[in-house]
Amino acid sequence: MKRRQPDTRSAGATLTPGVSLAAAAEQPAGAVASTGRDEAEELFNACYPRLAGWVRRLVDTDEDAHDIAAEAFARLLGRWSRVDNPHGYLYVIAANLISDHWRKAGREQRAIKDLATAAAGASCHPAQEADVRALIEALPPRLRAAFLLHHYAGFEVRQIAAMTGRPEGTIKADLHHARFRLKAALTETGGDPVQGR
């Protein structure tokens, strides 16, 4: 495989649907070589709609979904020359960005809830607070990534193994442990257990 030239664009650069990758950011000296740029643009055109759609199912707004998908592509471009499997890297980065988004949204919701609770002078029963997103977020990163990629993105175990560079048996074990932990947490809070695939 040919070595790609490194991309020196800012990691904060964002991409928007319908905009070509080449036009998405300025090209400083030493940017992606034209063949690398072509490969990256081809990947962007082929993967962006599916990636943004997957992210949209996991976040609250279209804007957040496009922001996360674009940030995943921007981070991929920042490491273009060092990534062997750009498609897999893209989804792993998106899963991490979704977790960051949930964490931030959770902090905001807790702050609003604390204000509302203080104003009302009442507290909620813990069973009412069972939030599947919070439970998934509480999983260890390797379990959370495997769970999101399998159950939310629809990737098969072998595809996740290829994306993450880990054996299929390890991915299966991670999925089993993630489902077990989620089932226990949901049972504990009075929710319905997660059904395995």
Residue 111 has pLDDT above 50, yes or no: yes
Domain count, the chain: 2
Average pLDDT over residues 19-45: 59
Task: Answer with the one of 74, 93, 123 that is the final residue of a domain.
Answer: 123
Long-range contacts from 29-32, C-beta under 8 angstroms, 24+ separation: 30/5, 30/6, 31/5, 31/7, 32/4, 32/5, 32/6, 32/7, 32/77, 32/80
How many CB atoms within 10 Å of residue 87?
Answer: 16
* pLDDT for the residue 121: 53
Average pLDDT over residues 65-71: 93
* pLDDT for the residue 73: 92
Residue 75 has pLDDT above 80, yes or no: yes
The angle, 0 to 180 degrees and rounded to 10, between the axes of the packed helices 34-58 and 86-120 is 30
| Same domain membership, residue 143 and residue 112 | no
Most confident of 20-34, 153-167, 179-193: 153-167
| Same domain membership, residue 48 and residue 1 | yes
| Same domain membership, residue 27 and residue 96 | yes
CA 180 to chain centre: 21
Q: Using CA atoms, how far apart are residues 124 and 184, in angstroms rounded to an integer?
A: 21
| Same domain membership, residue 23 and residue 52 | yes
| Same domain membership, residue 45 and residue 81 | yes
pLDDT-based confidence at residue 116 (cuts at 50, 70, 90): low
* pLDDT for the residue 185: 84
| Same domain membership, residue 14 and residue 95 | yes
Residue 162 has pLDDT above 80, yes or no: yes
User: The whole model's pTM is what?
Assistant: 0.51
For residue 176 the two structure tokens come to 């089993």
Q: Using CA atoms, how far apart are residues 95 and 89, in angstroms rounded to an integer?
A: 10
* Host domain of residue 164: 129-197
